[in-house]
Amino acid sequence: MSLYELVVEPFVSYGFMRRALIGCVALSLGSVPLGVLLIIRRMSLMGDAMAHAILPGAAVAFLFAGLSLWTMTIGGVVAGLTVALLAGLVSRMTPLREDASFAAFYLISLGLGVLLVSTRGSNVDIMHVLFGTVLALDDGSILLIAIVTSLTINVLAIIYRLLVAECFNPDFLRNVGGAGRAVHLVFLTLVVLNLVSGFQALGTLMVVGIMMLPAAAARFWSETIPGQFIVGVVIGIGSSLAGLLVSYHAHLPSSPAIILGAGTAYAISVLVGPRGSFLSQALHLPHLQR
């Protein structure tokens, strides 16, 4: 089998492969930078919690409108933002930390969402919601992902400095009169929007993988935030391409293949990345550790 037949022909011959790749590229451009910021803020598990928080809203929309893209999107956004606000409220009014609040709401949301879908849908519908159907992306799904990605990139460009300052020193913005809480809320909104648009392709259980795994891998290749953005996006796109090709040639489910591709990139980064990997520490390369 030639390189063309192995890599290029599937995307030339089949429209569903092209749409899947376009959707995954757009997802990587929008969600991976958010994953980098989540890691810097030590809120990595919040992405997983928020991915499950959207499930009840999407499930309620499914009960009324079936697998309707825009109805499930609205339901997911409402549910995700509601959980984010409730978790923040609980953490501010009780001794419970924000990550613990998100964990509690995540478990409740997951159980409630699966229960709601199962009351009307079949096992196929539950699998669709949880694991996605990236090879079935239509023009509407790609349009939604593209809109959310464009919004994310532009908003991040506007609030980048405030967001970085809030990441490293949340008290600074409050002390100088800045809108720290507003920036945090905008950031959470972007996370929810990307998770909601992504779950149409990868499902609620998988979408957080494309957000967090490339971002975690990027930490081993660059020390700057913009550098981690670039490396993470490249890893996300490469993982998507590799996962789609493996699923096509080996007849495997596409969403898990994409996430396992990102997981492989993360494992390689942990082992041989130039910054803090097992190899760099074993070789004692201080000039790469700065």
pLDDT at 213: 94
Contact assessment for residue 53 and residue 108, using Cβ atoms and an 8 Å cutoff: no
Give pTM, 2 decimals.
0.86
Average pLDDT over the chain, rounded to an integer? 83
pLDDT digits (tens, 9 = 90+) for 99-133: 777 778 777 877 887 777 677 655 555 666 666 67
Domain boundaries, the chain: 3-289
Helices 55-65 and 98-120: angle between axes, nearest 10 degrees: 20
- Beta strands (DSSP E) in 41-176 are none
pLDDT in tens, 134-173: 887 888 889 989 999 999 999 999 988 888 887 776 666 6
Helices 44-53 and 204-218 cross at an angle (nearest 10°) of: 160
Instruction: Take residue 212 and report the two structure tokens written for it.
Output: 């967090």
Least confident piece of the model among 34-38, 59-63, 118-122: 118-122
- pLDDT interval class at 224 (50, 70, 90): very high
Class of domain 3-289: mainly alpha
Angle at 50 between CA 30 and CA 188, to 5 degrees: 60
Radius of gyration, alpha carbons of the chain: 19
Cα–Cα distances (Å) from 188 to 83, 87, 176, in that order, read 11, 12, 22
